Every structure is written in structure tokens, then in C-alpha cells.
Structure 1
Amino acid sequence: MRNENLLKVFGKYVSLNVLGMIALSCYILADTYFVSKALGAAGLAALNLAIPVYNFIHGSGLMIGMGGGTKFSIFKSQGKDPAANQIFTNAAFVMICIAAVFFALGLFASGPLVRLLGANEQTYDMSRIYLQVILLFAPMFMLNNLLLCFVRNDGAPQLSMAAMIGGSLSNVVLDYVFMFPLNMGIFGAVLATGLAPVISIAIMSPFFIKKKNSFRLTRCSIVFKNIGGVLSCGLPSLITEASSGIVIIVFNMIILGLEGNTGVAAYGVIANLSLVVIAIYTGIAQGIQPVISSQYGSGNRAGAKTILRYALIVMSVVSVAVYGAIVLFAPEIAGIFNGENNSLLQTIAVTGLKIYFTGCLFAGFNIIVSMYFTSTESPAPAQTVSILRGFVLILPSAFILSYAAGMTGVWSAFPVTEVVVAVIALILLLFTGRTATCA
């Protein structure tokens, strides 16, 4: 890949993947909108209590897909096709094992889990139904993520985008049909979400039926070193997604004590809008991964850095546009999800939107830099950035700032954390060697 073509390749992969990720994020956003219209604040609170489990499922699939896709792309760029196929086979094995655990939890433990997540008598039944169905569809969510990542790394970003958009649009349509004409309530919302990855996989299936793919399952041994490498390289993706779930859980508990179910419903608006914004950054990050891994694998480190620079420029422009729109239209945005015209919910959500999203520029920087480290086989700094923003800093910030400033402190925890992590990420980017190999 010549340097003069890097901008063209960057534009192709990033634009397609951002569109696909925005569509994919609509899985939950569509649920939020239709649930708010059909079931009101109680339904919105129930949905928000169950969403963290979806984050864990989605993150587990991305961990295996992104980690495996990174190793696959590097091996392919080096002409090591047998090793690349062994990576795919080992990644598929790990995916099946983890998906089986989620499926078992859906069969036997959805009730106790939803209690642990903070459901009360008002939200228990709806939260349990949503959680159970999401867990039972976990194998489909994870298989979809695995195939999307490998298809993208196999030189077919258009197909990956089409599958993500097709699955998400089907979710929106089925949400409406199941919840309104068929009056299926919360079960209709989650069933539509669960069927979306099935449709996405179906869209990708001709790629495999016509044997256009260069990756395939092979008869080989399960090599734990390969599995360790996949998980190590993909761990930041899991941390990014799982941390979103953990943050939602902690914020829900704090907000329940401050503003009750109405506060949780208001946070649901912010959390789900955040999913879309983070999806844009994740789309940029996942879009650059195959290109950077290919440049790195072929020894073109300068090309990899050029792609990183392009990504940071695009992210900055997007961040300014997003925050400008939120400042200008916060009441209208909150009103979209406030089907009952609850004045308290509206007030809490509008204030929260304006404070919470001041951190979006720094969050985008952290996500992209973490993916750069992952794509160049440097898992330690990638994991450091992901863990700091996902667990180490934001959780104590939420407790300390909420104690000091109530709901204003809750909203401030996110931007404060992202600013601190961005400083650390910049230091790692400038001074950390990027030639380590995934364990």
C-alpha cells in the first residue's frame, strides 16, 4: 500500500465503519425511543438497568473479533496464511466457550442478576425479560461481532458496513412492529434487538457461500499462546464496552439514591445517546485497525502514524460538531425520549447532557490512541488507557463528585476522567515504545 494511497484507504475504511457502527448503536437507541413511548419512565428505567449486560456481551465479541482480526491482518500482510487461519479457528473456539456461559446465565440466572443490577418492584419484571432474552441471544451477538471484524480485515469493509446497517435497520422496523401493532411490550423490544445480529449474519453469508473469504476454519490444535495473543490484543475493546456497562450500573445506583427512578430514566437518555457518540469514535478506531495493522505488519511504521494522525483530525471535527449540537438542542434531544412530558426528567436530562458531553473530545482521543496501540501489537499501553478510563478513575470520581455536588457531580465524573486519561495517553503515545508483541 503506497503512502499516496493512505488517505484514500483511510477514508474508505473509516467512513464505511463509522456508518456501520452508528447503525449498530441504534440497537439500543431504538429500544430507548420506542420503550419511552410505549412504557414511559418505568420502562426506560428498566431498560437502562439491563443494558450493562448487553455491553458485556458486545464487548466480549469485540475482544475476540478485534484481537483475532488484528493478528489475522498482521499474519496476512506477512504472507503467513496457515497461521492466519489458525488464529480464526482458535478465536471461534473461544467465542463459543464464552457465549455458552452467557446463554447458561440467561436460562438459569436472569432473575437474581437483575436484582443485583438494582431492579425494584416497579422495574423487576420488565428488566428480567429484557435481560433474559439478551443473554439467550448472546451467541448470535458474539458470532456477528467475530465475523464483522474478520470480514473487515479480509478486505471487505463494504460488506461489514452493509451487515451492520441491515441488522440495525431491521431492529428499528421490528421494534415498531412488535411494540405497537403487535403490542408485545418490553419483550417485543428485546426480541427485535436479538434478531438484528441474525439478520446481519445472513447478509454476510453470501461472502462465505461464494467462498470469497480468505479465512476459514481449519483442522488444527487449540494453541493457548494464540488464544492469549487474541485476548491480549482484544482486551482493550472488552474493557471499553464492559466499562460502559459498569459505569451505567454504578451511576444507576448513585442516581437512584439522589433522584429515584426518574433520575435513572434521565440518565438512560444520556447513556444511550452516549452509545451513539462513542460508536462514532469506535467506528473511526475500528476502521483504522486493519490499515494500521497491515502497515505495521509490512514494516511501514511511518504509514501507521500517518493513519493515526488522520483519525485524530477527523475525531476532533466530529467532537466539536457533536458538542455544538448538544448545547444548541439539548431540550429537543431530551424531549424525544420524554414521552410522558415529565418536567423533572426533562430538567435533569438537559443539564446532564450539557455537562456530560464536555468529555467527548477527550474520550475520542483515548479510544483512538488505545486502538493504535492494539493495532501495532502494544497491548500494555492500550490496556492501561482502557482500564484507567473504564474502572480506575471514573468510579471513584463518580462517588466523590456526587457526594460533593449531587447530580452535577455525577455528570462531571465522565469529562473529568477522560481529561486525566487523555493526558496519560498522550504521554504513553509520545514516550512508550510501540514494538512490543502481544503475549
Structure 2
Amino acid sequence: MSAVDLGTAPLSRLFLRYVTPTVAAMLVTGIYVTIDGIFVGHILGQDGLAGMMLAYPICAVLYAVGALIGMGSSSLVSFYLGKGEQATARHIVGNALVMVLMASAMLTFIGIRYGEAMLSWMGAEGEIFNAGMAYLRWYALLGVFAVLSMAFTALLRNDGRPGLTTWILVGGGVLNVLLDYLLMAVIPWGLAGAAIATMLSQAVTGGLCLWHFFIPRSQLRIRWDTLTPNWRLMGETLRLGISSFLMYLYLSVVLAMHNKALLAVGTSLHVAAYGVISYSEAFFYLIFEGIAMGIQPIASFNAGAGNWQRVLRVRNLALGVTLLVALCGMIPLYLWPEGVVYLFAGDNAALLPVASLGIWLYFWGLPMEGLLLVGATYFQAINRARIASLLTGGKLVLIGGFLWGFSSLWGVSGVWLALPTCSTVLVLVMWRAMRKEAGLHVPAH
């Protein structure tokens, strides 16, 4: 579908074309993330789940930086394509690759140099520390692939190839599952095997997406001249991408804060229970992310072209679908929480009641999480970086207060209740901002 079609084609058709393959890809990703958790829980047990939960918040910074570059450059590319400035859009893609390489080198150094200290600060001890460090070390060494994959899947989708992006992500997901089995079940490498499997699949995904931008038929082809740093465009990319960065950094910080809070008022068993909850949430979160990323090219292009009624309509459609998915997702979580726990941890008598209670207290906020993610991405897509950053940055600020206050009042139960309450408050802020934004673009009669 051409750039012109983004501004003229029926929105329902555009929504299906861009959102359906993106959600499908994220569903596949969600499935292999789920399988990854199943392997860890069933092969390594609750200590494996706890070790990975303590290490992953540090590893997740790689994905935050990839989102910073990928979503920022994607929004900027779509905006300039909407204005008809294709040469500028190509330069943005080339500069995105430069930023990926620079950021990855820095993060690898930090991970190798300070990884042990960070993991100790997270509260890891003994065998849980050793398992977590094995996971963290391989993430740091191969981190460039995570940043590359995160950035260039978003850019490939903006080059008019959402279907190709889906198939690449599907291939990477299948490879990850196969490598998980090989490096954890066949070759007993523990959490090191889980990390290597993930990074190698990210290498394939990122490499295939990047290769597309070097072929002649790509409208955003990378050439030597596009690799020359343009500091203004890089600054614009970072400005627009900061919301996505904060969104992913928020995930990292939330995981870390929950781990610290659970160890303060509970035990490592509660951290393992949080692992079950996080894996369950990740499946739905990826669907929400697929909806958000799918509407981004449509919203960005039409905002750049001044077609604000189309922008508002696609926003409302995305929010409605997000709410429906979240409500449907809550049904199995609340009807069969024991089955969810068994899926990830097997027949663990100690973990079952702890994780089941956590599911009950935590997942009423699932619709709020979805609406907030899609809403923040929408503001980012229409070049309203300040509002998008306020929503995502607000979570980073508020969640600490909610965790401290609620855990002081209600212990572990308060930890489970903190995030959904925080997200509900921010959804109310987002709703107010959206009403104000819509009022600015109501046509005069």
C-alpha cells in the first residue's frame, strides 16, 4: 500500500492491513515468550524463575533503547513521508542504524563492567545470583541484536511492509523456541541457554529487517550518505522516541521495583510468583503493543498531512479494540488462575496459592495497561511528544510511591494492587488530554 493510500484509503481497511499483521506477529512473539517461561519454570523451577526475574529488568534496558530509536525514527519517517520529503525520511533510517551501533556498544560495556553490582543490588543471592548472572552476561555480550531487532522491525513496518515484518517475527519466534529446547532441555545450559536462544533469534530477526533497507526496491534504502550523522534529525528521533523509551524503561523499573518490594515484604517465592504474573501479562501486553505499532504509520502520516478527522477515528478504533482484547483476556485469568500457574510452574504446591492470589489482585488493571500503552503511542505518533512522555514518565514516578505506600499498608497484597491502581489514575489523565486534543481539531461549522 502506497503512502498516498494512508491518507485516502478507508480506515477500516487500513486498520486491518497494518494492525492485523502486527498483532499477529506480536501474538507469535507472545507465544514464544510464554514458551520461554514454560521452559524456565518446568526445567529450572522456581529458582530459575526468580533468577530470571531479578536479571531481566537490567536486560530490558536494551529493548528500551531499541524502542527509543525504532519508534522515534518510525514516527519521524512517517511524518516526513506525509509531507512528501522522501530524502529526509531515508536519512532518518540511515541515522537510526548509526544510533543502534553506538548505543549497543555503550550498553555492552556497562553490562559487562557493572552487571554483578546491579544484580546484587536487585537482591539476588547464592544460586539465584549465579543463574541470573549467566542470563545477564549473555544479554550484555549479544545486546546489539536486541537493539537492532527492536529498532528495525518498526522501521520495516513503516516502509510499507507490515506483512513481511510479521513473517520475519514469526521466523524469529519459531527459532527461539527451537533454541530454547536445544540449549535448555538437550544441552543443560540453564538460564545462559535461555539468553543465548533469545539473542540468536533476535540476530536473525534484526538482520533480516536490516537487509531489506539495503535492497534497491526499498523506498527508504540505506546508502553511505544516509549514514552521515544529522544531529538535528537524531535529536528529533530521540525526542519522539523518548515516550517509547520511557514505556520500556518503565517495564524494567516496574519489574525491579516489584522484585525489591516483594523481597522486602515477602520471599523469593513471591518473586517467582511475580514471574508467572509477568509472563502472563507479557502475552497481552504484546498484543496491545501490536495495536499501537500498527496504527502508528496511519496516525503519523495523516497528522503530517493535516487529516485530523482520520487521525481521531483511527485512535478511537484502536482504543476500542484494545479494551475488547483486555476484557476477553481477563476471562481465563480469573476463571482458571490455577491453570495459568500450572502452565508456567508445573505442580508446585508452594507456588500455586501465592501466584493464584497475585493473579486475582493484579489483573483487574489489564484494560488500563492496554489503554495507556495505545494512548501514549498515539500521542507519540502525532508528534505530541510532551504528552506521551508525561504519561509514560508519570508511571515511572508514581509507581514507586504506590508500591511503597500499598506494601506498607497491606504487605504482599499491596504490591499486587499498586500497578493497576497507578495505571487507572494515569488513564484518567490520558482521557482528559485526549478530549482536549480532539477539541483542537473539531472542524468549524
Say yes or no: does 1:148 pair with 2:153.
Answer: yes
Q: In structure 1, what is the Cα distance between the partners aligned to 2:206 and 2:117? A: 31
For the 8 Å contact 1:377–1:435, the answer to whether it is kept is no
For the 8 Å contact 2:243–2:376, the answer to whether it is kept is yes
Q: In structure 2, what is the Cα distance between the partners aligned to 1:233 and 1:257? A: 37
Q: In structure 2, what is the Cα distance between the partners aligned to 1:106 and 1:424? A: 36
Q: How far off is 1:27 after superposition? A: 5.5
Q: How far off is 1:434 after superposition? A: 9.5
How far does the alpha carbon of each residue in 1:385-418 deviate from its partner, in whole angstroms, 9 at most, with x for none?
11112x1211110111011011211111111011
1:380 to 386, 394, 398: 386
Aligned length: 434
Say yes or no: does 1:53 pair with 2:58.
Answer: yes
Equivalent residue letter for 1:417: C
1:349 to 342, 349, 355: 355
Q: In structure 2, what is the Cα distance between the partners aligned to 1:20 and 1:277? A: 13
For the 8 Å contact 2:72–2:241, the answer to whether it is kept is yes
For the 8 Å contact 1:59–1:240, the answer to whether it is kept is yes
Q: In structure 1, what is the Cα distance between the partners aligned to 2:88 and 2:205? A: 27
Equivalent residue letter for 1:191: I
How far does the alpha carbon of each residue in 1:189-246 deviate from its partner, in whole angstroms, 9 at most, with x for none?
1111111111213444663464332212442542322112111111111111111111
Say yes or no: does 1:280 pair with 2:287.
Answer: yes
Q: 1:184 to 1:435 in 2, by over 3 A?
A: farther
Partner of residue 312, structure 2:
305
Partner of residue 319, structure 1:
326
The DSSP-based 3-state class of the residue aligned with 1:122 is: helix
Q: Which runs of 5+ in 1 are unaligned?
A: none
Partner of residue 270, structure 1:
277
For the 8 Å contact 1:311–1:368, the answer to whether it is kept is yes
2:35 to 19, 23, 30: 30
How far does the alpha carbon of each residue in 1:40-78 deviate from its partner, in whole angstroms, 9 at most, with x for none?
111110011111123211111011001001111111122
Say yes or no: does 1:428 pair with 2:433.
Answer: yes
The DSSP-based 3-state class of the residue aligned with 2:126 is: coil
Q: 1:201 to 1:67 in 2, by over 3 A?
A: same
Q: In structure 2, what is the Cα distance between the partners aligned to 1:435 and 1:60? A: 32
For the 8 Å contact 2:150–2:206, the answer to whether it is kept is no
Equivalent residue letter for 1:77: G
Partner of residue 49, structure 2:
44
Say yes or no: does 1:219 pair with 2:220.
Answer: no
Segment drifting more, 425-434 vs 315-324: 425-434
For the 8 Å contact 1:235–1:383, the answer to whether it is kept is yes
Q: How far off is 1:302 after superposition? A: 0.7
Question: If the length of structure 2 is used for normalisation, what is the TM-score?
Answer: 0.93
2:19 to 5, 14, 21: 14
Q: In structure 2, what is the Cα distance between the partners aligned to 1:255 and 1:80? A: 51
Partner of residue 290, structure 1:
297
Say yes or no: does 1:176 pair with 2:186.
Answer: no
Q: In structure 2, what is the Cα distance between the partners aligned to 1:30 and 1:324? A: 21
Partner of residue 252, structure 2:
245
Equivalent residue letter for 1:235: I
How far does the alpha carbon of each residue in 1:246-292 deviate from its partner, in whole angstroms, 9 at most, with x for none?
11111111111222111110011101211221111111001100111
Partner of residue 263, structure 2:
256
Within-5 A mapping of 1:22-101:
22-26=27-31, 28-101=33-106
Q: In structure 1, what is the Cα distance between the partners aligned to 2:20 and 2:69? A: 23
Q: In structure 1, what is the Cα distance between the partners aligned to 2:415 and 2:191? A: 28
Q: How far off is 1:86 after superposition? A: 1.7
For the 8 Å contact 1:166–1:203, the answer to whether it is kept is no
Q: In structure 2, what is the Cα distance between the partners aligned to 1:239 and 1:25? A: 21
1:126 to 123, 131, 139: 131
Q: 1:123 to 1:387 in 2, by over 3 A?
A: same
How far does the alpha carbon of each residue in 1:152-173 deviate from its partner, in whole angstroms, 9 at most, with x for none?
0010001111111211121111
Q: 1:423 to 1:394 in 2, by over 3 A?
A: same
Partner of residue 135, structure 1:
140
Equivalent residue letter for 1:74: F
Q: In structure 2, what is the Cα distance between the partners aligned to 1:151 and 1:368? A: 20
Q: In structure 2, what is the Cα distance between the partners aligned to 1:434 and 1:71? A: 24
Q: In structure 1, what is the Cα distance between the partners aligned to 2:100 and 2:214? A: 22
Q: 1:238 to 1:147 in 2, by over 3 A?
A: same
Aligned-residue identity in percent = 26
Question: If the length of structure 1 is used for normalisation, what is the TM-score?
Answer: 0.94
Q: 1:280 to 1:374 in 2, by over 3 A?
A: same
Equivalent residue letter for 1:47: M
For the 8 Å contact 1:376–1:435, the answer to whether it is kept is no
Equivalent residue letter for 1:398: L
Segment drifting more, 321-330 vs 179-188: 179-188
Q: In structure 2, what is the Cα distance between the partners aligned to 1:68 and 1:310? A: 24
1:163 to 157, 162, 168: 168
For the 8 Å contact 1:13–1:157, the answer to whether it is kept is yes
Q: Which runs of 5+ in 2 are unaligned?
A: none
